[in-house]
C-alpha cells in the first residue's frame, strides 16, 4: 500500500460510506463528519424526514450524500438499497451498522417483571440489534469481498461489557454484536482478504431521543435517579456528546488503523474502568 502522509489518513475523498440508522442522532453526526472529510455518504434509514435533515446539513460539506430507504430486517430491501448505493457511487468502502435500539416491551419496571416480558419484545430487540447488524453486513460485505478491501464498523454498547439493569434483551443483543464483530474480523481476514477490517465502538451513556427522559426529567431537566447513578459511575462526570464518537469512528474507518481488526472500543468517559470505589 502506498504510504500516505499523516494528514492524508483522514482524507476520505473518493470513498463511499454506508450508514444504517444514518438519520439518528449519533449516526447522523457520523455521516456529517465523514462528508466533512470528503466521503460520499449513503444514509440508510426508515424515516425519510429525518434523513432529509441530515442531507440538508451535509450540503455545506465537500462530500456528497444520498438518502436510501432501508429496513435492516429485510434482506431484499437491503439488496435494493445496495443497488441504489452502487448506482450512485460505484463502490462501498465503509459500512457503519448503526441501526439498533430497545423497546418498552423488553424493559423491566415495577409493573412488568422479567418473567412477564412478552416474547415479541425480546424477539424485536434481539432481531433489530443482532440481525440488523448481520443482514446489512452480508449484503454490503459481499461488495467488499469483490473489492478485496473495506471497513465494517459495528455499534456495540457499554451493556455488552457490563449488563445494565432493566434492559435484558438489549444488553444480551449488544453482547452478541461484540462477539459477532470479533468472529467476522477473523473470518473475513482468513477467508477473503486481510484488508477487510471489522471493528466496533461501544458508546457509554449518550443522551438521545430514545433515552433522554429515562436519564433526565422531562419537566425540570434534572437527572433522574438512574441518570444520577450513571454519572456517579462515570469518572468524567457527564454524558457523552455525539461528537465524542467521531475521533474513534474516523480512526477505525481510516488507514491510520490499518492493522486494527476485531476490537470493541469503549467510548464511555471511564465508566468501564471504574469499580465504584
Query: Active-site positions?
Result: 170
3-class secondary structure, 129: helix
The count of other CB atoms within 10 Å of the CB of residue 152 is: 28
Which of 161, 133, 144 lies closest to 196, judged by CA? 144
Looking at the DSSP bridge assignments, the partners of residue 130 are none
**Contacts by 162-166 with C-beta closer than 8 Å and gap 24+?**
162/271, 162/272, 165/108, 166/107, 166/108, 166/109
For 19, 25, 213, the CA distances from 67, given in Å and listed in that order, are: 10, 15, 29
Determine the distance from the C-alpha atom of residue 106 to the mean position of all C-alpha atoms in its chain, rounded to a whole number.
20
Q: Which H helix or E strand runs over 168?
A: helix 168-191
Amino acid at each position: 500500500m502506498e504510504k500516505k502522509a499523516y494528514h492524508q489518513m483522514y482524507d476520505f475523498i473518493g470513498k463511499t460510506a454506508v450508514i444504517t440508522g444514518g438519520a439518528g442522532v449519533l449516526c447522523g453526526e457520523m455521516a456529517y463528519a465523514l462528508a466533512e472529510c470528503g466521503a460520499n455518504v449513503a444514509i440508510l434509514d426508515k424515516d425519510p424526514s429525518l434523513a432529509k435533515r441530515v442531507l440538508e446539513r451535509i450540503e455545506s460539506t465537500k462530500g456528497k450524500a444520498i438518502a436510501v430507504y432501508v429496513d435492516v430486517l429485510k434482506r431484499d430491501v437491503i439488496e435494493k438499497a445496495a443497488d441504489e448505493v452502487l448506482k450512485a457511487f460505484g463502490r462501498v468502502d465503509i459500512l457503519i451498522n448503526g441501526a439498533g435500539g430497545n423497546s418498552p416491551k423488553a424493559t423491566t419496571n415495577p409493573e412488568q417483571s422479567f418473567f412477564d416480558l412478552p416474547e415479541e419484545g425480546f424477539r424485536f430487540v434481539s432481531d433489530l440489534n443482532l440481525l440488523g447488524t448481520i443482514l446489512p453486513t452480508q449484503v454490503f460485505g459481499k461488495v467488499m469481498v469483490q473489492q478485496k478491501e473495506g471497513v465494517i464498523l459495528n455499534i456495540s454498547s457499554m451493556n455488552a461489557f457490563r449488563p445494565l439493569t432493566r434492559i435484558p434483551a438489549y444488553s444480551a443483543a449488544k453482547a452478541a454484536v461484540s462477539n459477532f464483530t470479533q468472529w467476522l474480523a477473523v473470518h473475513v481476514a482468513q477467508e477473503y482478504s486481510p484488508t477487510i477490517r471489522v471493528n466496533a465502538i461501544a458508546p457509554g451513556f449518550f443522551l438521545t431521543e430514545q433515552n433522554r427522559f429515562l436519564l433526565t426529567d422531562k419537566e425540570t431537566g434534572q437527572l433522574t435517579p438512574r441518570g444520577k447513578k450513571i454519572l456517579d459511575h462515570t469518572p468524567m462526570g457527564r454524558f457523552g456528546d455525539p461528537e465524542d464518537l467521531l475521533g474513534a469512528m474516523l480512526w477505525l474507518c481510516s488507514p491510520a488503523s490499518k492493522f486494527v481488526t476485531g476490537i470493541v472500543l469503549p467510548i464511555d468517559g471511564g465508566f468501564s474502568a471504574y469499580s465504584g470505589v
